[in-house]
């Protein structure tokens, strides 16, 4: 049975309460606290700051007459569990990860967007919720809305499966770390995942998709490509970040309008 928060109860990790979240059902969950304000204001120029506690900076916006939260999760799966667990207790039912990623396919270029319909579970946090045989899958309704929004806005985008890791360097077979060492069992993993058709490396999707599925919630993911691993290990310059951000701001806003509008029509 779900354990919802009491009306004035403050969540320990996020610092939020039901009163503060105003009945929000949707939450955008970027990893970086520095991305929250810009994303919220892209949704609504009158968006407002709610609170900042630990890794979790929260703003709220209005989209199609409904409150939408934008809250950072920090990096990696463990932080995602804090965000989802506490927002769920406050009544949030749908989550969209919005962030950046590194592509591993030739046809995914810098500044393009990736919509992940599933994730390879190379994380650790999701294993606390379900065995590895349990799939990490995005919600179809949210995924289709993101795809339709990207098509409508003519934003270059690809739908695929991400590889979620707990390590940015050896876990993603990067050799530009301090030691340059990658364990033998991970050497060649990038080429293998590319051959399997996986689209990108990132660090949150597997936990987000698994946890929301287990809890009866919904999740999707939209990321901008800021590293093209088929060309270089280097992270893209500032202008690529800005292009990717502009694109995922536009697409996620339009997708939310579709999702909220459909919900209102079906009522």
Catalytic residues: 13, 86, 174, 229
Phi, psi for residue 216 in degrees, rounded to 5: 75, 25
Please state, in angstroms and as integers, the Cα–Cα distance from residue 230 to each residue in 43, 59, 185, 225, 233, following that order.
33, 36, 21, 12, 8
Q: CB of 58 within 8 A of CB of 36?
A: yes
d(CA 188, CA 170): 11
d(CA 226, CA 171): 18
Report which DSSP code applies to 24: -
d(CA 149, CA 167): 31
Report which DSSP code applies to 28: E
């Amino acid at each position: 049975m779900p354990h919802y928060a009491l009306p004035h109860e403050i969540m320990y990790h996020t610092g939020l309460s039901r009163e503060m979240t105003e009945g929000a059902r949707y939450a955008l969950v970027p990893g970086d606290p520095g991305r929250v304000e810009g994303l919220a204001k892209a949704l609504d120029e009158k968006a407002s700051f709610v609170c900042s506690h630990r890794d979790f900076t929260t703003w709220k916006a209005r989209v199609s007459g409904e409150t939408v939260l934008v809250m950072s999760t920090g990096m990696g799966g463990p932080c995602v569990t804090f965000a989802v667990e506490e927002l769920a207790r406050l009544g949030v039912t749908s989550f969209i990860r919005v962030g950046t990623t590194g592509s591993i396919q030739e046809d995914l270029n810098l500044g393009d967007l990736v919509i992940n319909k599933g994730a390879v579970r190379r994380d650790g946090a999701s294993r606390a919720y379900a065995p590895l045989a349990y799939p990490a899958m995005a919600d179809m309704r949210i995924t289709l809305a993101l795809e339709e929004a990207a098509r409508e806005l003519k934003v270059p985008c690809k739908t695929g499966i991400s590889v979620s890791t707990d390590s940015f360097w050896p876990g993603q077979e990067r050799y530009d770390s301090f030691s340059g060492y990658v364990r033998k069992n991970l050497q060649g993993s990038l080429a293998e995942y590319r051959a399997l058709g996986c689209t990108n490396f990132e660090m949150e999707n597997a936990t987000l998709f698994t946890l929301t599925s287990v809890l009866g919630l919904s999740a999707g993911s939209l990321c901008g490509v800021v590293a093209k691993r088929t060309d270089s290990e280097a992270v893209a310059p500032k202008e690529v970040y800005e292009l990717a951000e502009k694109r995922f701001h536009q697409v996620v806003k339009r997708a939310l309008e579709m999702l909220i509008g459909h919900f209102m029509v079906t009522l």
